[in-house]
Amino acid sequence: MKFTVIPVTPFAQNCTLLICEETGRAAVVDPGGDIETILHEVEAQGVTLEKILITHAHIDHAGAAGELSRRLGIPIEGPHREDKFWIDGLADQASMFGFPPAELFEPTRWLDQGDLVQVGNQQLEVRHCPGHTPGHVVFYSPVEKIALVGDVLFKGSIGRTDFPKGDHDTLLRSIREQLWSMGDDVEFIPGHGPVSTIGHERATNPFLN
């Protein structure tokens, strides 16, 4: 599986294009905005976009999902149902943070702990990691040893918990129970900033030691 990061929105959010190289099928994770930039990368890679995956429903991660789904006729999978209130409030989020108007959407499939997501011939495990938002999920490929963790964990930091229904202790528990168990050699793509590894953060992250 090939992973291409596409920075989008004024928040420099790491939208990621996941490509099954066997089939040329792809999924886009967290299309927060800048649809034309995303579609340009899809065209440049010569792949067929078959679905949208959402880690959580903050505007910079989900703001363009509804429009992209409608334009391409592709399904949206994720986040967990506990983030429905964030989806319902996308218009308010857009206004608050100066984003373009966002289309509301209903995910084709809500995701939960232990679900599997298919991209071409590849599978991703779903891990429910509340704390930053109550419905945050993470996508993990044990074969590729890579995870897309949204705003749960960053290189040298962790996600904010001062948003509605955020909780610091819950976030720490999600990291320790759901991410650490992936193994130290797993690389992760965060929602913002550079990639890191589980082992590096376990050993050095000042918010977790």
| 27 belongs to a structural domain | yes
Does residue 161 lie in a domain region?
Answer: yes
Which of helix, strand or coil describes residue 2? strand
- Give this prediction's pTM: 0.98
Q: Tokens in use for 185?
A: 């050699």
Over residues 44-64, mean pLDDT: 98
Is-contact 54 30, C-beta < 8 A? yes
Computed over every residue of the chain, the mean pLDDT equals: 98
Q: Structural domain of residue 56, as residue ranges?
A: 2-204
Q: How many domains does the chain have?
A: 1
How many separate helices (H) and strands (E) can be counted in the chain? 7, 13
Does some domain include residue 209?
Answer: no
Q: What is the CATH number of the domain that holds 92?
A: 3.60.15.10
Q: What is the pLDDT of residue 8?
A: 98
Indicate the pLDDT class of residue 209, thresholds 50, 70 and 90: confident
Residue 6 lies in a domain: yes
Residue 115 lies in a domain: yes
pLDDT, one tens digit per residue, over 92-135 is 999 999 999 999 999 999 999 999 999 999 999 999 999 999 99
What's 39's DSSP letter?
H
43 lies in some domain:
yes
Domain for residue 30, yes or no?
Answer: yes
Question: Which H or E element spans position 84?
Answer: helix 84-88
Residue 168: its pLDDT value, please? 98
91 found inside a domain: yes
